[in-house]
Amino acid sequence: MKFGDFLFPDSRDPERDGAVIDETLREAQLADALGCDTIWLAEHHFDGICAYADPIVFAGALAVTARQAKLGFAVLQMALHHPIRAAEQIAVIDNITKGRLIVGLGRGSSYNIYDYTGFGIDHHEAQERLDEAQQIMVRAWTEAGFRHRGRFWELDVPMLRPRPFTKPHPSLIRAASTEASMLQLARQGQPFLMNVQSVETTRRRFTLYREAMAEAGFDDRQIAQNLARCCVWRNVYVAETQAAAERVGVPAFQAMAASRAELRNRIYRETGRRIAVPESELPSARASVEHGFICGTPERAAEAVAELAELGIGGVIATFRLGPLSHHAASDSLRLFMTEVAPRFRTASSEVPA
């Protein structure tokens, strides 16, 4: 399996945003030095849930400091981006990193209405904006010039410069937060990034993914190749003893889940608006110590990773800095995971985007 460090630094105090960004840069340098396969970046705006907010800008900084790890977006909220500007920025980073870039795309936040209202975007349009934006970006990377007439953009595009380093274009992968979107990607023969879910839900979804690909006409080899490119997100805290892990990690995880729930409720109180999400898709696993959190000794963490490896999944996207957890504590957990857990699952494959 491949292992990535998902940089998702919470900053509850606006006065500390800069300090948290500095600490996150240091975490990225540590992840690279420890041999993380990918450094993953999130995108959330206005609420401090992700201190650096803009993953493209942050990836530009990491492009010249991370020497070995790939850089991945998990994900770019394409409803908030102009596709030509994004294609141009991504092409620059792809050249700087010499192809060490994974462009994860998603429709955007399912919970924070501010991510849309702050940019003047109707969240109901997010999926269609994502689909149209991806089409435009691929054409910009691969064609000498083109005209586009769509629902959201009317463009007459000369040749995009610089051209991408990766041919025909940088690696693309979609996020799928719901079962329906996952099945749609399966039928199209595309791998996906999966958000935090229980082991039971993860197992069920990957069973359905295999079945949907097979029903769409893909053979066993193609299904296995796709599974090896799929990644799942997990929150992680590792310590030398189970007691130490639970003493430090569990309160940090619970505080993170509580603050995010309160944030959503506060936004609703202030605006009277929230994004309607089906009850079955609410982030219960993310908020559950039992299901949304790998916490314990290296041996316990390895057991949890083994359950994922048995499903044929190629990569784990691990968040080590959990809510109020300090930079130093997160770094210690990252170091222990990469030295004591990750080596048990290393493979020679270079095809997995994690």
pLDDT per residue over 108-121, tens digit each?
A: 887 788 899 999 99
What is the residue whose two structure tokens read 């949907």? 212
Contact 213, 223 (CB under 8 A): yes
- Domain segments of the chain as ranges: 2-345
- Tell if the pTM clears 0.85, that is, is over it: yes
CA dihedral 325, 330, 299, 69 (to 10 degrees): 140
pLDDT tens readout for residues 61-118: 999 999 999 999 999 999 999 999 999 999 999 999 999 999 999 998 877 888 999 9
DSSP codes joined into one string, 51-66: TT--HHHHHHHHTTT-
CA distance 282 to 293: 16
pLDDT exceeds cutoff 50 at 154: yes
> What's the CATH number of domain 2-345, 3.30.70.141, 3.40.630.10, 3.40.50.300, 3.20.20.30?
3.20.20.30
Q: How confident is the model at residue 270 (pLDDT cuts 50, 70, 90)?
A: confident
End-to-end CA distance of the chain: 8
CB half-sphere exposure, 318, CA atoms < 13 A? 33
DSSP codes joined into one string, 76-99: EEGGGS-HHHHHHHHHHHHHHTTS
